[in-house]
Structure 1
Amino acid sequence: MPMNAIAQNASRLRPAADHVESWFVRANDPAAPRAVWIKATVLTGRDGTAVAQAWCSVFDGKRVHAWCRDVPLADAAFDLGAVAPDTVEQELSIGPLRMMLHGSGGRTRGTLRDETSIVDWDLAFEKVPGSGEPLCMLPTARLLDAPVPNNKLVSPFPVAAFSGRLEWDGESWDLDGWHGMQGHNWGSEHSPEYAWGQAIFTDTGDGAPFAVMEGASGRTRIGGRVSPLISMLVVRRGDDEYRFDRIVDLWRQRPRLAFPEWTLRMRGRDGSATVHMVADPAQMVCLAYRNPARATSYCLNSKTAAVSVHVAPVNGNAFELRSAHGGALEFLVPQPVPAVRPVV
């Protein structure tokens, strides 16, 4: 599915329409259960709602914290058109958050605080050649402009090398050598329910990324009804890509959402695959995701989940990928879960 990062990050905002759209960045320490997740969100509604949100969550294996700041959309700034060539920079500004994106990476900086904690960051990322090329789990790019599914997700930079620093309540993190990704999603509302997972696997010798997995199981609204769980999965390993993207072949999908675990078994033209991810609820945050015209949903968010992937290709030997704390795992649910605090 050829598409460059500039096009994948272009805004789909439609004035005076129910619309939610986010650009997000995640970085993980390959040597320890530490991670940072930063997101910029735009929320508009036919009722005149127009707000932008700056988000940040941090995880260090012992404690977690999350921040969110709302800004009137009129006070936010966006320059995110589908421009070319790739050297042109796309920019957005939401209160204290800045994000700059271009064809080979990007940068974000900002400061967020609440009554008990403060975080300040300035980090940059560059795509990793090969596995870091733009990724879309849908079977065709035409679905990105279709009414179904009602929430779309692309990863302009599924594998990126990070540098920079983060300060959390006086503790300083050096992000040089960290790995992560940058994603973009949009739609008329958040999906009614989903589990989404992404993980980058690094070589234990030199710490370089050699594989990436991204998958999701979720429901969408079709004609006013909520669909069964629909799943997608892509695994890249070296120069090979294994796609499990026939989203209507429900008999070839076996998703199981049993918080805090997500298991997905898929069969497709490239073979079969099984993903298992599990997070510690004490190392997650619960984020209130507002919808333009429906009730608020809640994202149970981990960036230090354990993940295992088994792939049996049609042609070639089976292989496994594992990470003890490098997985991004999210569940979207209608109500908060008491085991996950704080609720932001």
Structure 2
Amino acid sequence: MRPANAPRFRRGTDHVESWFVRANDPQRARALWLRSTVLTRRDGDAVAEAWCSVFDDTRTLAFRQQVPLADASYGADGSSRVGPLRLGLAGDGGSSSGELTSVSGPVRWDLAFRRVPAPLGAPMCLLPHERLVDAPFPRNTLLTPFPVATFSGRLAWGEDEWDLTGWTGMQGHNWGAAHSPEYAWAQCVFPDDDAVVEAVSGRIELGRRASPLVSMLVLRRDGEELRFDRLLDLWRQRTRIDFPRWSLTMRGRAGEARLEVRADPAATVCLGYDNPARARSYCLNSKTARVRLEVRPRRGPAYTLESEHGGALEFLRAEPLPEVQPVV
């Protein structure tokens, strides 16, 4: 497998690819989300986008800037410069700085992050086999090079200034010919329990049709990894996507896991995700979601992991929802 953050895009193809970073305040419902995106089309058109979303318990905003790909730069390790956004990625850490402006004013950040030691911080893949990462099927791939990272630095948002020291989060990477037709995705770090979970339910494109919802979940806790990644084992997975809630129950060789994630609509942003050769999709994006995970492993006692405001939760849809603030 190629390095987890290595770019996969090629000009002249239909392709969308993103590198993203999330940091959460362990004490309050505050979070930062950064994203560097490449969008290429078969006709040769290509753009890059810089994104920033800021969440707290009183207000939430999203910022976006698009530039021609020729005016951006991407390195072999996934490091990028897109307009005012700088994202550096290295073997065990990274950094980002930048400033974006909207009608509500500017947001500025300068931060660094480091991967926690393995096994908790080792790169994570939801797919059952690494050889599927760069295979033609499925058409969309998600890797998490830094599933658990610790942060330092500062963020200035209007009159507020946040000290990011001690914040916890992750860095992810995804790509494909287009965004999935529909999905719900969640990731949560449980610092007090030495645990992290990531899960997705989505539809896979089968020719001109979309599959039923297919789910995967991976949990790490106390040095052990439990995987629920049998893509076509639909009779052992139950999922319900009903914004602002997503519930998922998985059964398999590892035992049983039940995940429930709920966002606050007032602390959710609607992001317009462009596709190369189809209509725009809409991502309802929360980074301060409540997470509850009940686990009954095949070996050992059952346990429950909870986070009041530390979860990332995204819903991708064909249309926006009126209860979420306007599209960015």
Q: CA deviation at 1:16?
A: 0.3
Alignment equivalent of 2:50, drawn from 47, 50, 54: 54
Q: Which residue of 2 aligns with 1:95?
A: 83
Deviations 1:191-228 (A, max 9, x none): 0000000000121xxxxx61001000000111221111
In structure 2, what is the Cα distance between the partners aligned to 1:252 and 1:123?
A: 41
Counterpart contact for 1:148–1:222, Cα < 8 Å: no
Q: Is the 8 A contact 2:11 2:44 kept in 1?
A: no
Question: Does structure 1 residue 77 correspond to structure 2 residue 65?
Answer: no
Tell me the residue number matched to 1:86. Answer: none
In 2, the alpha carbon distance for the partners of 1:288 and 1:223 equals: 24
Alignment of 1:182-331 (within 5 A): 182-203=171-192, 210-331=194-315
SS in 2 for 1:342: coil
Q: CA deviation at 1:295?
A: 0.4
**What is the match of residue 84 of structure 1?**
none
Aligned counterparts of 1:266 and 1:69: Cα–Cα separation in 2: 39
Displacement after TM superposition at 1:274 (Å): 0.3
Match of 2:9 in 1: 13
**Residue identity in the other structure for 2:84:** P
Which blocks of at least 5 consecutive residues in structure 1 are unaligned? 82-89, 204-208
1:66 aligns with 2:44: no
Q: Quick check: 1:149 aligned with 2:138?
A: yes
Q: Give the AA of the match of 1:181.
A: M
Aligned residues: 327
Shift of 1:343: 1.4
Aligned counterpart in structure 2 of residue 29 of structure 1, from 15, 25, 30: 25
Question: What residue is the counterpart of 1:167 in the other structure?
Answer: 156
Amino acid at match of 2:99: T
Aligned to 2:117: 129
Name structure 2 gaps, 5 residues minimum: none
Deviation at 1:164, TM superposition (A): 0.4
TM-score (norm. length: structure 2): 0.98
After TM superposition, give the deviation of residue 48 of structure 1 in Å: 2.3
Per the alignment, residue 103 of structure 2 pairs with 115
Q: Is the Cα contact below 8 Å between 1:151 and 1:191 reproduced in 2? A: yes
**1:185, distance to aligned residue in structure 2 (A):** 0.2
**In 1, Cα distance between equivalents of 2:326 and 2:216:** 30
Tell me the residue number matched to 1:341.
325
Contact 2:238 2:250 in 1 (8 A): yes
Q: After superposing the two structures, state which structure 1 stretch, 109-118 or 269-278, moved more.
A: 109-118
> Are 2:190 and 2:196, in contact at CA under 8 Å, matched by a contact in 1?
yes
For the residue of structure 2 that corresponds to 1:292, the secondary structure is coil
Residue 85 of structure 1 corresponds to which residue in structure 2? none
Q: Partners of 2:312 and 2:105 in 1: how far apart?
A: 23
Indicate conservation of the 8 Å contact 1:65/1:342, yes or no. no
**Greater than 4 Å deviation, 4+ residue runs:** none
**TM superposition score normalised by structure 1:** 0.93
Distance in 2 (alpha carbons) for counterparts of 1:191 and 1:252: 22
Corresponding residue SS for 1:282 = helix
Q: CA RMSD in A?
A: 1.1
Aligned AA (1:39): R
Percent identical residues:
59
